[in-house]
Structure 1
Amino acid sequence: MQVEISLKDVPALVGTELGVSDWITVDQTMIDAFADATLDHQFIHTDPERAAKESPFGGTIAHGFLTLSLLSAMNYAALPKIREQTMGLNYGFDKIRFGSPVKVGKRVRGRFTLSEARYRGAAMLMTTYDVVVEIEDEKKPAVSASWITIVQFDPKDRPETD
């Protein structure tokens, strides 16, 4: 069950790990669908036999951008819902690192630590999360990133700030 918090509570949570997502299995069907969507059919992603023979990975691996894109699903599963939020937007990333490949069949999950929260204008809260995408049973993460999002809300719901 997803936790719900108030907009006024968010700034006090800076520095706190706010959630860890459920595990997501990255299978060949997912990798192939991503390859089709992005037109990236490099053999290390889409040809299990060739990848087993010619790559150092022993089989196919997920695209780094596929792993990164799973942050959206992980976010919804792990982070508290902000009661006053009317919409959420991706703003961008300050830093992304692909630390370790995700081999086909592996499970990944995201850890989200709120590193910054500041109001912008009358109806936006900009949040920055330090995110790590872990690979089950591996020490090195698949992805580490600083992810910036915007929480949109009705201006009448903006809390008083000091």
Structure 2
Amino acid sequence: MSKLVINSFEDFEKYVGQPLGESEYLQVDQERINLFADATLDHQWIHTDVERAQKESPFKSTIVHGYLTLSLLPYLWNQIIEVNNLKMMINYGIDKMKFGQAVLSGQSLRLSTKLESLANLRGAVKAEIRFTMDIKETGKKALEGTAIFIYYFN
């Protein structure tokens, strides 16, 4: 899979309203879930207790933390796009984000993106990227929203 290469505001501008691409699928296994639980101190049993989840959860499995799903956005975004000639890039925010289907331990996620809008802010570029994370095994959406990045080109 080849990345979309952006070198300037003008390069970016050509893609307004267009799909930017999709990432590869990434499997989210129980080890990653447990590491996330340790990092965030969120050890709720629906994420970390495999035996209890198999018996008591309506999913019959542990599920991925919603915020773990969200935290994979930058990694998967980097598979889609390469933005060059930057001083820095800042995560500005996320609009209209919502979780859809629960992601079960061992399932795989893919990011799909579309450039909703682009604004030149006198030296900085505000990009609004519509994103969806879908689950390979079900074809359903795990997460969707609009990510807002500020790019500072050289």
What TM bracket, shorter-length normalisation? Answer: over 0.9
1:44 to 2:46 alignment = yes
The aligned residue for residue 60 of structure 1 is: 62
* Aligned partner letter, 2:58: P
Match of 1:10 in 2: 12
Q: Report the residue type matching 2:115 in the other structure.
A: L
> Secondary structure at 1:105's aligned position in 2?
coil
**Runs of 4+ residues deviating >3 angstroms:** none
| Counterpart position of 1:114 | 115
**Which residue pairs with 2:124 in the alignment?**
124
* Aligned residue identity for 1:67: T
Q: Which of the pair has more CA radius of gyration?
A: 1
SS in 1 for 2:14: helix
Q: Aligned residue for 2:24?
A: 22
Alpha-carbon distance between aligned partners in 1 of 2:145 and 2:6, rounded to the nearest angstrom: 24
Deviations 1:36-89 (A, max 9, x none): 11110000000000011111111100000000110010010112x223223211
Q: TM-score, normalised by structure 2?
A: 0.94
In 2, the alpha carbon distance for the partners of 1:3 and 1:115 equals 16
CA contact (8 A) 2:4 2:20 kept: no
- The answer as to 2:105 corresponding to 1:140 is no
- For 1:93, the equivalent position in structure 2 comes to 94
SS class of match (1:149): strand
Note the C-alpha offset of 1:2. Answer: 2.9
What's the offset of the Cα at 1:11? 1.6
- Asked if structure 1 preserves the Cα contact closer than 8 Å seen for 2:125 and 2:151, the reply is yes
Q: Which residue of 2 aligns with 1:150?
A: 150
Q: CA deviation at 1:153?
A: 1.5
Across the aligned residues of Structure 1 and Structure 2, the Cα RMSD in angstroms comes to 1.1
TM-score of the aligned structures, taking structure 1 as reference length: 0.89
Matches of 2:70 and 2:83, distance apart in 1: 23
